[in-house]
Amino acid sequence: MVIRFAQWTLDVHDVPGMAEFWSAALGYRIDRGDDGNVHLWPPDGGLSVWLQRTDAPKTGKNRVHPDLVVADGDLEKEVTRLLALGATHADVGQRGDEGFTVLADPEGNEFCLLHHR
């Protein structure tokens, strides 16, 4: 027996705002729950995203984060698009020769864009 990933869960302060960011970033459909949380569904049936409300502050670097690939391979264009959506560049101690670009969503949660799969 083995286990498989089903969804990525992220605690957030602004569920609607973060749903808009991650939906636009990933191209996922927003499914708003009656409890105020949001489920984001991919068009291809892949890994979903669950956004749940928290009042806890984010402190320090995330211990877990997603590594994402750019579908069309144009990393520079995708970084520009994500920055326009509200992402920011994040410094988690990288040296500059890594094979990824570190960004953070509007609430400061880090994620990486891999330069190559």
* pLDDT digits 0-9 by tens, 68-78: 999 899 999 99
Q: Do domains 1-57 and 65-117 have the same CATH topology?
A: yes
Could you tell me the pTM of the whole model? Answer: 0.93
**Residue ranges per domain, the chain?**
1-57, 65-117
* Fold classified for 1-57: 2,3-Dihydroxybiphenyl 1,2-Dioxygenase; domain 1 (3.10.180)
The answer to whether the CB of 40 falls within 8 A of the CB of 22 is yes
Question: Using DSSP, how many helices (H) and how many strands (E) does the chain show?
Answer: 2, 8
* pLDDT digits 0-9 by tens, 11-26: 999 999 999 999 999 9
Count of all residues that appear for the chain in the document? 117
* pLDDT digits 0-9 by tens, 33-52: 899 999 999 998 889 999 99
- Closest alpha carbon to 82 in 21, 2, 13, 18: 21
CA 83 to chain centre: 13
Sheet holding 100-104, edge to edge: 67-69, 110-114, 100-104, 88-89
* Fold classified for 65-117: 2,3-Dihydroxybiphenyl 1,2-Dioxygenase; domain 1 (3.10.180)
